[in-house]
Chains A and B, each alone.
Chain A
Amino acid sequence: MATHTQSFWTKYIFSQDHKVIGAQYLIVGLIMAAVAGFFAYVFRYHLAYPDAEIPLWGTLDPRTYNMLVTTHGALMIFWVAMPILVAAIGNFLIPTMLGTDDMAFPFLNMLSFWVFFLSAVVVVTSLFVPGGGFDGGWTLYPPLSADAYLNTNPDFWKALFSGGSLVILALALEFASMLMGGINFMVTTINKRARGMSFSRMPILVWFMNFSVVTFMFSVGPVIAGALMLLLDRVAGTGFYDAYRGGDPILFQHLFWFFGHPEVYVLLFPTLGVMGEIIPTFARKPLFGYKFIIGASIVAIILSMVVWAHHQFVAGINPYMAVFFSVGTILISIPFAGIILSYVATIFGGNIRLELPMWWAVGFLATFLIGGLTGLYLGSNTFDIYAHDTSFVVAHFHYTLFPITFFGFFAAFYYWFPKYAGRMYNDFLGKLHFWGTFIFFQLFALPIFFLGLNGQPRRMADYTAFETLMQDWHIQFREIATISAILLILTQFIWLYNFIVSLWKGKRVSSDNPWQANTLEWQAPSPPPHGNFEVYPEVYRDPYTFGVVQVNGTKRDFIPQNEKLPS
């Protein structure tokens, strides 16, 4: 292994080491999560107590409320979920799981992080420009987002340095960064697998990471073109989305959701991959239906490209088309139900070790189930017309994206922390963190379903003017949701404390393989040095050889991928 000396700058800042880059993505993602979480606290507080002064913030006017909601959505999807789930987990795990030293293009990897960092800077800047941050919803629908309307000659620089244009620019940078990262992931997977690691012996997480970036690459094109056109509408005065000039505002919805729906799976796939590693390890059973899961994911990717208009059932869609999109949307639940049931089948009859990562995995399955099942309701256009733009939708996508992002991340965090930190976390604090997150999340999101079914619209700062939405139980449910959301945020400080203290003072792990798992990253030293392995491993079997196996007369519970057995 090349051990060359590195200065502080090349080791930690402009690093080309995939683990450092993963950590950089993680840190930026967590900072953005803190910002977006704080915004959530402010507007949730306002919803529950519309007249009260908000601690740490002050009063909230409706325009700022809209800005906070918009920014919360955009940040959580593009600057929290994307970097943490796809970029950070992918960077940490793909090279180590494949038994190699680094990504295929380390320099490109560094470049994609810095482009991403720039995009984060731009999106934060967009909050402070004259005119304030963008407040037209994270989906950027025109005409709200193209406010240069009927103005064929806008002031270019003024229009460029407005909140909306900067958000679009930041998104463009973010997409460019993720495309570069995705190309890197795919080339690494195709080119840099260890000797003996055929595609059918790859850990399921590596498969899922590649599905994620492939889905992203094949769906992001339309929204890049669409966002460029939107930007031109704003800064150059074109009329791509201006109905008066022959443009079409609905066109942007199509371009956006053609990407927007697969984007959910871009985020879901890494989490499913994490669960696919954790569940067999702690159930001590081979992953159920490895090939089925891969096939089902491919079916889901293809279907995900033809269901986008289920977001537009009330946008004036042809009813016959609506039926097509409804059927497609409901069909897509079949492969995902198959994957989730494969995980349940893996647990079934296993020799379960209820360690902390397993808690998060089971918590994910239970919580995500509710999100998935309410998606079936919304996918049906007859129901969606009733529930569209109500809080029911808000509760639904929080029930999908929260478990995907945070249960997925925390499961991965607790599972791989001993490997990449070389130290153990505090188990008691971890359990406290799990139960706090699990319970407070349900208490936060469940009431919103009922409020939405009762007709409470989303994206509204104040319901006091609507008598039918101000019955006692409405007010109480909003308070329960808000208090739980605040407690949910506070619970995360337990994790932060645990993280920082364990990183410096945690008990050193006695074994490189504390969970007795089979994949290659557990064969590397903890933490893996620059270059990961002392001896590059060679692979002899699939990664899920768990359960009692007879080897030369001795009983074994697991056999790592790289262990050569005497024949």
Chain B
Amino acid sequence: MQSTTVSLRRVPQGRLALWLLIAGELIIFGSAIVVYLLLRLRYPEWGAEAAKTHLSLGAFNTLVLLVSSYFAAKAHEASLKKLKGKVLRYLSLTVLCGLIFLGVKSYEYTEKISHGYTFTSPKLVEAGQGAAALFWSFYYFLTGLHALHVLVGLIAIGFIMYYVKNNKHFHRVELVALYWHMVDLIWIFLFPLLYIMQ
């Protein structure tokens, strides 16, 4: 693109755009979380439902995401020096952590679904516990939306690894790391709200 030849002041364009994207994403997640909190205040019985989540697996997943963010940060650090091997190694570790996260999440989902706590939880509705069923709708909605973002992040990291492998676009490592930190941050909010707040 010839586009960079014109203007005087330049913030790195990708970084600027990504911060704006993160702002938009946080508002979407933020409003979903606010809705959850308002209904949580209305239904104290959600505490009993939250107690049924797998706290230790959730905590393990939190740890996994935090570690993955550390790897993403290390990959960014290496990308500034254009250390191709190091960048690829750290990004692979990030991907590995992301995959572990999704694996554990799928295990949790399977376990919950086998106990009858599904997206709609028809058993709870039939038992007259509609509000409890709503908790599980929110559980799957919030964690599912988050897992979707993890998945998108993994695909994006895949693209970046391909670029870096061909010695291109080292600066984009920073962008994907920023996005990954956002995904991490959102989970930091979701974990206490859905698992700990019993």
The answer to the question of B198 belonging to the interface, with a C-beta cut-off of 8 Å to chain A, is: no
- Of the candidate stretches B19-27, B73-81, B155-163, B184-192, the one touching chain A is B19-27
The answer to the question of A319 belonging to the interface, with a C-beta cut-off of 8 Å to chain B, is: no
**CB-defined contacts of B20 to chain A, threshold 8 Å:** 182-183, 186-187, 217
The answer to the question of A431 belonging to the interface, with a C-beta cut-off of 8 Å to chain B, is: no
Kindly identify which residue among B13, B122, B134 contacts A153, using a CB–CB cutoff of 8 Å: B122
Q: How far is the CA of A108 from the CA of B13 in the complex (A)?
A: 12
What does DSSP make chain B's interface, helix, strand, loop or mixed? helix
Q: How far is the CA of A555 from the CA of B25 in the complex (A)?
A: 54
Q: Is B39 touching A239 in the complex (CB atoms < 8 A)?
A: no
**CB-defined contacts of A224 to chain B, threshold 8 Å:** 28, 31
**B159 to nearest A CB, angstroms?**
14
Q: Is B23 touching A217 in the complex (CB atoms < 8 A)?
A: yes
Interface flags, A187-209, vs B, CB<8A=1, else 0: 10011111110000000000000
| A191/B137 contact (C-beta < 8 A), A179-B24, A217-B23, A245-B125 known | no
Interfacial residues of chain A within 55-108, with CB under 8 A of chain B in the complex: 99-102, 104-106, 108
Q: Is A236 touching B27 in the complex (CB atoms < 8 A)?
A: no
How many residues on chain B are close to A (CB under 8 Å)?
40
Q: How far is the CA of A187 from the CA of B12 in the complex (A)?
A: 10
Q: How far is the CA of A179 from the CA of B86 in the complex (A)?
A: 34
Interface flags, A403-435, vs B, CB<8A=1, else 0: 000000000000000000000000000000000
Q: Is B119 touching A225 in the complex (CB atoms < 8 A)?
A: no
The answer to the question of B10 belonging to the interface, with a C-beta cut-off of 8 Å to chain A, is: yes
**CB-defined contacts of A100 to chain B, threshold 8 Å:** 3, 6-7
**CB-defined contacts of A217 to chain B, threshold 8 Å:** 20, 23-24, 27
Q: How far is the CA of A406 from the CA of B144 in the complex (A)?
A: 42
| A183/B130 contact (C-beta < 8 A), A2-B2, A225-B32 known | no
Interfacial residues of chain B within 1-42, with CB under 8 A of chain A in the complex: 1-3, 6-11, 13, 16-17, 20-21, 23-24, 26-32, 35, 39
Q: How far is the CA of A220 from the CA of B27 in the complex (A)?
A: 8
The answer to the question of B120 belonging to the interface, with a C-beta cut-off of 8 Å to chain A, is: yes
The answer to the question of A152 belonging to the interface, with a C-beta cut-off of 8 Å to chain B, is: yes
The answer to the question of B141 belonging to the interface, with a C-beta cut-off of 8 Å to chain A, is: yes
Q: How far is the CA of A225 from the CA of B24 in the complex (A)?
A: 12
The answer to the question of B194 belonging to the interface, with a C-beta cut-off of 8 Å to chain A, is: no
The answer to the question of B43 belonging to the interface, with a C-beta cut-off of 8 Å to chain A, is: yes
| A152/B120 contact (C-beta < 8 A), A101-B6, A195-B8, A239-B134 known | yes
- Of the candidate stretches A118-126, A247-255, A283-291, A365-373, the one touching chain B is A247-255
**A219 to nearest B CB, angstroms?**
8
Q: Is B7 touching A239 in the complex (CB atoms < 8 A)?
A: no
Kindly identify which residue among B3, B7, B137 contacts A240, using a CB–CB cutoff of 8 Å: B137
The answer to the question of B99 belonging to the interface, with a C-beta cut-off of 8 Å to chain A, is: no
Most buried by A among B23, B27, B131: B27
A-B contact pairs, 17 of them (CB 8 A): A2-B2, A104-B13, A152-B122, A179-B24, A182-B20, A183-B17, A183-B21, A187-B16, A190-B9, A221-B27, A222-B31, A225-B28, A232-B137, A237-B120, A240-B138, A245-B130, A248-B39
Q: A186-B16, A225-B29, A226-B31 are in contact. List 19 more A-B contacts (CB 8 A).
A: A104-B3, A152-B120, A152-B125, A179-B24, A187-B17, A187-B20, A190-B11, A191-B7, A191-B13, A195-B8, A217-B23, A218-B27, A221-B29, A221-B30, A225-B28, A237-B119, A238-B119, A247-B134, A531-B2
Mark B residues whose CB is within 8 Å of A: 1-3, 6-11, 13, 16-17, 20-21, 23-24, 26-32, 35, 39, 43, 119-122, 125, 130-134, 137-138, 141, 145
